[in-house]
Amino acid sequence: MPDPIRVCFVCLGNICRSPTAEAIMAHRLGFDDLGVHVEVESAGTGDWHVGHPPDERARGEAARRGVPMAGVARQFTADDFGRFDLVLAMDADNREALRALAPSPEAAAKVHLLREFDPQAHGNHDVPDPYFGVSEGFAEMFDMVDRSVAGLIAHIGSTRPTG
């Protein structure tokens, strides 16, 4: 069996978008044979919410969709590049922050935008941060992340060796 692919989703504070992506991916992988080959976590580029649970609005939206969400926020560090094969930023600002933190060009090459895997992105690859918006923003964010995660799982499944 090949080594698992290790994925980290990253947003600004690790309380809305990235824990939503982590929860959706873990939930989807629970229903897919690929799950045994993928490990998933999330983190933030900032430290404001370290140790806090996901935003209650994100948890509420996930619960409405039947997706369990747990965990606490943590900050992504340069050492994390050695732990993860794929680092998926929620927007261009976080992508650039991650690339600036990368200890090498090889590490920076691990950083991509999650919506690169969203068939409905149409060139707009940012997942908007719903934190300061209205509750409906969490539903829209969830839909974007869900489509993107489905595309990511399909991509991983099509590129991972089996056996």
Active-site residue flag, 11: yes
Is 8 annotated in the active site? no
**What are all long-range contacts of 126-131, with beta carbons under 8 Å and residues at least 24 apart?**
126/90, 126/91, 126/92, 127/11, 127/17, 127/90, 127/91, 128/91, 129/11, 129/12, 129/16, 129/17, 129/90, 129/91, 130/16, 130/17, 130/57, 130/58, 131/13, 131/15, 131/16, 131/55
In whole angstroms, what separates CA 8 from the centre of its chain?
Answer: 6
Q: Catalytic site residue 64?
A: no
Helices and strands: H and E segment counts in the chain: 5, 4
Catalytic one of 91, 118, 129, 146 = 129
Choosing from 16, 17, 95, 146, the catalytic residue is: 17
Residue 103 DSSP SS3: coil
Catalytic residue among 11, 55, 115, 146: 11
- Which residues are designated catalytic? 11, 17, 129
